[in-house]
Structure 1
Amino acid sequence: MKVIVNGKIIQKDCILENKVLVFDKKIIDICDKAPKNCEVIDAKEMYVSPGLIDIHIHGSKGSDTMDGSLEAINIISNSMIENGVTSYLPTTMAMDKECVHKAFEIIKKAMSNHSQGATVLGVHMEGPFINEYYKGAQNSEFIIKPSFEFIKDYTDIIKIISYAPEVDKGFEFTKDIKKNTDIILSICHTNSTYENAKAAIELGASNITHLFNAMSPLNHRDPGVVGAALMTDVYCEMIADKIHTNKDIFQFVLNNKGKEKIILVTDSMRAGCMEDGEYELGGQVVYVKENSARLKNGTLAGSVLTLNKAVYNFFESTNLKIHEAIALASINPAKSINIENKKGSLDIGKDADISLFDKKMNCYLTIVEGKEVFNKII
């Protein structure tokens, strides 16, 4: 067993001080005094937080999910632990069927043979079932109509499908997914009307991918997808880099959605944690400069955000307390993909996914299922 002492333990509704966190592979106890014969970790007054969960990330440290290699997934996994992320969904893009399926196969291998870095929880499939009008940085060459046949062999590993409901004729794909799988449907890259988006939500679409970005906007005559997102009970992803959305919008969304339904994500591409320069995303050239990743025409192409920074940005720009901001990147994403019984908080019996952060959310220690994988405090 191991214990963490001298830390501020982040709980869902409070911060505990002068307590000891006891764990092995699972969280064992939170108590007043460390049991005997335990390895002791001194948190040095830092926040002892549940590990962060990124449900939307394409790449980092020069590698991308669509590289289709186990090495690329391992690089991404090892990059994320430096920012306190303990589990994530590698996210695909609109590319040809063979490339997408190859990425699925590699992710399946990474899930069954986790040996390093952050845990791979499954696949977030973003595209190719999207609307070309709001394609963003997705390649229009590979955009197709929603097809259950396309994903039927991978329903065991796909956790989220981000799609445009208006291109789903008669909502047949939506109905097939909700009837035959446990996959979460998330609305994205969409020109859907308010009414159409609400209809998809009523049929089971439960998430909105990167709220405000690549979707029909809020208008007083047609509230669009943004209006449907704010006026229904769906989870809403946000890329809190202060580039994809103005920081003053954070509190507006919080006021309308409540803190239980916002999920912070990075949507990071391969330039995450790298220097400015020229990179690639989905077969297109991306230029990274001053924390912004864009195509040649200026279109935002994912981000270079880290999830701990997203938490700090949101905390700094809203009236949330730090433990509430951390929940947007821990228990909320866990709930959204139905793994809250295992991950997302420091409850007794859950996986010992733990991160230590300072007041600005810089990460100093990361523990994945009880194993120390990153340490900057030694």
Structure 2
Amino acid sequence: MNSRRAMPHVAISALAVNQPRAMVGFPRNEGDPVQRVLNQVSDELSRITGEMRNRVSETQRRLEELETRNRDVEQLLADAGRGGRFSSGASESPGEIFVRSDAFRNFGGSAGRGVVSAVVQAITSASTSAGGMIAPDQRSEIVGLSRRRLTVRALLAPGRTNSNSIRYARQTTRTNNADVVTEGGQKPESVLAWEEDDAPVRTIAHWVPVSRQALDDAPMLQSTIDGELRYGLQIKEEDELLLGSGAGQHIHGIIPQATAYETSRDATGDTAFDTLAHAIAQSEVALLPATGIVMNNDDLEAIKIIKDGNDRYIGGGPFGPPITTIWGRPVVGTPAMAAGEFLVGAFLDGAQIFDRLDAEVLVSSEDRDNFIKNMLTVRAEERLAMAVKRPAAFVHGSFPYAL
């Protein structure tokens, strides 16, 4: 009982003895100071009794919980001693492995003296450990193979057609006999001749099979396939524009129709730049000034490191700009051109492309047994013709030595 509610230093029994007779047997007076003290004492005893009862109940509950845990631990240790797995069904922890080890059981038999050790396997990211719990960081972009730069089409004159063939008349002869004549004299006759030529529209196409599930589950896949198929058309187109034989369904390309380089122009000590200058001069003589140069990529890179007699770079050197022109003509590199060869020409005047069908990519299930296999066919196709109207506008040759 705290000091605030301490009873007065008066014995209750003494009060009862000394109480006046007139007050004995009368009903209890709540306003009496003594009675108030008695009431306070009774209330305090009731409060203390309630608190003690609650504390006893809480203590009993905790003891029961400890007893339950103790039984669980005893059961786990008993299972471990029999070599069994813990009943939780989870993977063994390092502590569980230690308890089940022979070293721990032998340690108990030696009265607990000495040092006990057990090998516990570390948790790693291997597939047999925690690897299955580690989710990969999946990236949505698709990393494709490298692509080559396409250059030849940009050099040629563009055009379109609604037919399957381009027919045109090409002049083959111009014999100019114009001359001065006397009055009444006969005028000289010149000779002009043309021939009809034809550039048929050719088809370039390819396709790939793909499952419907792949296209549905990977939205980026369709656009990737679209881009890859279109790129494949462009690669084949560039090869045909330069090298097509014209036989069968091939385009009749520029190089098979070009004028051969006149090697009589070569001189001792000529560099690659000299050879290209001779080819440009040959086109000038044909009255078709060259507007561009096409080379193999390796050759174009090789001429960057040509040096003079004082070991100085002819071009801009390692810190100069890339080579985009030679002798004032644009130069492009392409793997379609064979190494060691070159093509100089008046590209805009000498040849023209006629597009009949721009590159398109179509997806269809109407192919063989695609429907029952849930497969799709993705097809890319383009149609075009090229007319080399002036073969003399192009000069094709080889460098006199390896670059």
TM-score by length of 2: 0.23
* Larger RCO, structures 1/2 (Cα 8 Å, 6+ apart): 1
More strand by share: 1
TM-score by length of 1: 0.24
More helix by share: 2
Q: Which of the pair has more CA radius of gyration?
A: 2
